[in-house]
Amino acid sequence: MLQADDNGPSTLPQVQEVPLAAIADVLRAGLRDFMRAPAFGIFFSTVYVVGGMVLYLVVAMAGQEWWLIPFVVGFPLLAPFAAIGLYEVSRRIETGKPLFWREVLGVIFAQKDRQIPSMSMVILLMFMFWVFVAHTIFALFMGVASLTNITSSLGVLMTGNGPLMLAIGTGIGAGFALALFSFTVVGLPLLLDREVDFITAIVTSIEAVRANLVTMAAWGCTIAGLLFLGMVPLFWGLFVVLPVLGHASWHMYRRLMAD
């Protein structure tokens, strides 16, 4: 596997086709990596899980529970932030390198001088824009008064224009998720693995998705479904789901990109 070259850009790997069966394979590989290094998985998922809990407490204490809807829908968009460390752990397991905390965290810290911060900004801006769009859709369909009423009764969502608002909002949210998934499914691990700029990483990721539309659609649905299940018990399930998906995402990247 060609690593980042300090003397110049790395050679881009070639996109290859991946069968549907690869999803089960990479999930097994992700679980295997998590079981081999559970401390790293728990550590990197803690920030994500604690962030979700703090988010819930803030909106609950402010009496603005309705904000949980766009946040819960959009929160998985931030999952790649927690995945970088998991990618590095899987890469080290794959290459037989030792799993020392100092070295793993050192590689992650070193990313500040590379292209991952730029990709992270893209992710964050899309998440913030989604929250703004969700708020606007709610106000357009439900009216300003409902912003207050929903804090005492979520049943407001099932009255009047509520079902239509939920349907349209879900569709638009799915569009945001699809775009970001296309940008990052290969883009993020590629930035860790090779010395390329974030625009090249995004374009390569989109090409990989286009070449594997069925498999990538199924993989995206699998990620969304498992993340949702992990968030249901007040985000506690993410302590297992997130590390497994992070490791599995590295293995999916390795399947999608030929050396």
The structure tokens 């949702």 sit at 228
Mean pLDDT of 20-43: 96
- Burial group, residue 64, by CB count within 10 angstroms (0-12, 13-18, 19+): middle
pLDDT over 90 percentage in the chain:
42
pTM: 0.81
pLDDT of residue 154: 56
- How many whole angstroms from its chain centre is CA 179? 12
Q: pLDDT category, 2, cuts 50, 70, 90? A: very low
Closest CA to 184 of 242, 128, 118, 237: 118
Alpha helices in 143-231 (DSSP H): 144-149, 162-184, 187-193, 198-211, 213-231
Four-residue CA torsion sign, 25, 26, 27, 31: positive
* 14-15 and 257-258 strand pairing: antiparallel
Summarised one tens digit per residue, pLDDT across range 133-188 is 887 887 787 765 555 555 455 566 666 677 888 888 888 888 888 898 999 999 99
Q: Is the CB of residue 84 less than 8 Å from the CB of residue 116?
A: yes
The per-residue pLDDT for 53 is: 73
Residue 126, pLDDT > 80, answer: yes
Q: Structure tokens of 205?
A: 């990721």
Instruction: Assign 50 to helix, strand or coil.
Output: helix
Confidence class for position 5, pLDDT limits 50, 70, 90:
very low
Average pLDDT over residues 106-116: 84
- Comparing 169 with 90, which gets the higher pLDDT? 90
With cut-offs at 50, 70 and 90, classify the pLDDT of residue 244.
Answer: very high
Give the residue with greater pLDDT, 72 vs 137.
Answer: 137
- Paired with 15 in beta bridges are 257
Compute the distance between CA of residue 104 and CA of residue 256 in angstroms, rounded to an integer. 24
Angle at 34 between CA 127 and CA 72, to 5 degrees: 25
Model confidence at 87, in pLDDT bands (50, 70, 90)?
Answer: very high
How far is the C-alpha of 133 from the C-alpha of 148, rounded, in Å? 18
Residues 6+ apart with CB under 8 A from 97: 91, 103
Return mean pLDDT, the chain: 82
pLDDT, tens digit, for every residue of 34-60? 999 999 999 988 877 776 677 677 666
Which pLDDT value is given to residue 4? 44
How far is the C-alpha of 245 from the C-alpha of 222, rounded, in Å? Answer: 9
Q: Which residues contact 50 (CB under 8 A, 6 or more apart)?
A: none
Residue 160: per-residue pLDDT:
66
pLDDT at residue 71, rounded to an integer: 61
Domain ranges of the chain: 14-258
- Nearest Cα to Cα of residue 184 among 112, 192, 111: 192
CA dist 46 to 117, 190, 238, Å? 20, 24, 9
